[in-house]
Amino acid sequence: MASRRSRAQNKRQNYLWRAVDKEGQTLDILLQSKRHRTAAEKFFKRLLKGE
């Protein structure tokens, strides 16, 4: 499962994506300056294929 959170850092909007397993442990994170959902999904699919 992936979750998204928007936050302001240095007066700039950033998007934090997290890959979380069934137990709630964070597997990896991705920080983007633009909200690009398909890029985040591709990133996490590659992450999960490697496991």
Report whether 21 contacts 39 (CB < 8 A). no
What pLDDT shows up at residue 35?
82
Q: How far apart are CA 3 and CA 16, in angstroms?
A: 8
**Residue 13 — pLDDT band, cuts 50, 70, 90?**
confident
Q: Write the pLDDT tens digit of every residue in 30-49.
A: 888 888 888 888 888 887 88
Query: Which phi-psi region, left, alpha or beta, contains residue 50 (left: φ > 0; alpha: ψ -120 to 50)?
Result: alpha
Can you tell me the mean pLDDT for 25-32?
Answer: 84
pTM (whole model) above 0.85: no
